[in-house]
Amino acid sequence: MDQMNLDIVSFIDFRKEDIFDRWKEKIVIPSENDYEKIFLQGQLFLKILVHAFSFKKNELDQYLNKIILENAEVLNIYEITNISYFIYNANIIKNEMLIELSQYHSNWEEIQPIYLKLSETIDRFLFFVTKNYTSKKDQQIEETNPLNKDNHEERLTLLGQMTSSFVHEFRNPLTTIHGFVQLLRSENPDLPYMDIILSELEQLKFRITQFLMLSRKEMLNQEMALFSLNDLLDQIASFIYPRLLEANVELERELEENLFVSGYIEEIRQVLINIIFNAIDVLTEQMTSSVIKIKGFITEDRSIVLETSNTGPKIPEPLLNTIFDPFVTTKKTGTGLGLYVCKEIIEKHEGQLYCTSDDEWTTFTIKLPPVKKKDLETRKE
């Protein structure tokens, strides 16, 4: 260190009490409880800066980082209530030291390099303080989040178990009611409103199955099988006919022959009905002509593709990106689980489910893997 630097360090050290007194009049303290802490910080800050000023540039960062970590408790950098107070008060010391420096020497050309070095030293000090503060806070967040996540997942699991048990118990009396309504209709074919009652019961059973599939309970009694997608869509068309008639929606089908799928037929049925019901709900809200078009075909790699399109309004891009997430819904009475369950089912069948939407059509595309050749041959036999 040259003589000029030594003289300035000595001068600043000599004037530090005056600097500190002026600093005390200008600082901002978050609360009375922080008064003593702020004073200790200021004294240490001033001491560190005077010492740091003697270091060369390539040694400065190493010294500052080391001294900050050693004095972290006094500086209170890991428990700072508001980091902005600390930075503001530190900059007051910076200003007061620069004021002293400007009064020390009147020749600006000689004092400028020292002025810049002192300013840079203070800036580097604040950089390492905030860096260590941020690092510690990030570590605390990482340590806390797993606990919050575990608690959240435990609550969701418990809620799911309670809901599943309730819905499962609810289905038993519903099955009894459904059976007796069918018996009543067969014995009294002219009794009015029976078709409406049966239709509503079928839809209620469908919603219950949706919840149970989400909880995985419905898989217990299922077996994978090879089935005709054409036949399944015929059955679904008959099932949803009352809803289509009520909503004044036209259903168009364009299916290649012999579309076979290997999987759980009830789960695939669930997916198709849910997508079609969603389309009907959307189409009932518009006054223009409403169409649902189902197109099925086999690709070059023998995959099965089923496209269900409707003439409803375009789905906004932000919603399109989250439409398969759980609890995302635009319906006033929706659960936000329907499409989530659909995607889970299709992916379990090693397939894909995605949605595209423009001003003319909104299309849900299901792509399922090819059926093994030996399975098709066994079916033909």
Cα 18 → chain centroid: 54
* Confidence at residue 362, expressed as pLDDT on a 0 to 100 scale: 93
Could you read off the pLDDT tens digit of each residue along the chain, which spans 381 residues? 566 667 777 777 777 788 888 888 887 777 666 667 777 777 777 777 777 777 777 788 888 878 777 777 766 655 655 677 777 777 887 788 777 777 776 666 776 777 777 777 778 887 877 777 777 777 766 666 555 555 656 665 666 666 666 666 676 677 788 788 888 888 888 888 887 887 778 777 766 766 665 555 444 456 788 999 999 999 998 888 888 888 889 999 999 988 999 998 888 988 998 899 889 888 887 767 789 999 999 999 899 999 999 998 888 888 888 888 876 666 655 556 778 888 988 998 999 999 999 988 999 999 999 987 666 656 555
Rounded to the nearest 5 degrees, what angle is found at the Cα of 245, between the Cα atoms of 250 and 343?
65
* Confidence at residue 15, expressed as pLDDT on a 0 to 100 scale: 79
In a domain, 281, yes or no: yes
CA-CA distances (angstroms) from residue 280 to 81, 142, 259, 329? 55, 45, 25, 15
| Domain shared by 281 and 236, yes or no | yes
* Confidence at residue 217, expressed as pLDDT on a 0 to 100 scale: 46
| Domain shared by 37 and 127, yes or no | yes
Tell me how many domains the chain contains: 3
Q: What is the DSSP string of 6-64?
A: HHHHHHHHHTHHHHHHHHHHH---SSGGGHHHHHHHHHHHHHHHHHHTTS-HHHHHHHH
* C-alpha to C-alpha distance for 334 and 330, rounded to whole angstroms: 7
In a domain, 367, yes or no: yes
Task: Give the closest residue to 40 by CA, choosing from 86, 73, 74, 82.
Answer: 74
In a domain, 238, yes or no: yes
| Domain shared by 206 and 283, yes or no | no
The last residue of a domain, from among 120, 147, 174: 147
Cβ atoms 48, 125 nearer than 8 A? yes
Cβ atoms 178, 205 nearer than 8 A? yes
* Confidence at residue 246, expressed as pLDDT on a 0 to 100 scale: 81
CATH of the domain at 375: 3.30.565.10
Q: Is 71 exposed, middle or buried (0-12, 13-18, 19+ CB in 10 A)?
A: middle
* C-alpha to C-alpha distance for 94 and 97, rounded to whole angstroms: 5
At 23, is the secondary structure helix, strand, or coil? helix
* C-alpha to C-alpha distance for 280 and 304, rounded to whole angstroms: 24
Neighbours of 194 (CB within 10 A): 16
In a domain, 324, yes or no: yes
Radius of gyration of the chain (CA): 36
| Domain shared by 129 and 15, yes or no | yes
| Domain shared by 125 and 206, yes or no | no
| Domain shared by 247 and 200, yes or no | no
Asked whether the whole model's pTM tops 0.75, one would answer no
* Confidence at residue 220, expressed as pLDDT on a 0 to 100 scale: 46
Strand partners, 366: 306, 353
The last residue of a domain, from among 147, 167, 202: 147
Residue with tokens 């806070």: 137
| Domain shared by 193 and 230, yes or no | no
| Domain shared by 23 and 131, yes or no | yes
* C-alpha to C-alpha distance for 58 and 75, rounded to whole angstroms: 24
| Domain shared by 267 and 310, yes or no | yes
The last residue of a domain, from among 147, 174, 191: 147
| Domain shared by 349 and 370, yes or no | yes
Query: In terms of residue numbers, what domain contains 168?
Result: 159-213
In a domain, 154, yes or no: no
* Confidence at residue 160, expressed as pLDDT on a 0 to 100 scale: 60
Spatial strand order in the sheet of 290-298: 249-255, 290-298, 304-310, 362-368, 352-357
- Look up residue 159 and give its amino acid: L
CATH of the domain at 41: 1.10.490.70
| Domain shared by 111 and 178, yes or no | no
In a domain, 92, yes or no: yes
How is residue 269 written in tokens?
Answer: 């049925």
| Domain shared by 169 and 134, yes or no | no
Cβ atoms 119, 72 nearer than 8 A? no
First to last CA, the chain: 97
In a domain, 152, yes or no: no
In a domain, 153, yes or no: no
- Look up residue 151 and give its amino acid: N
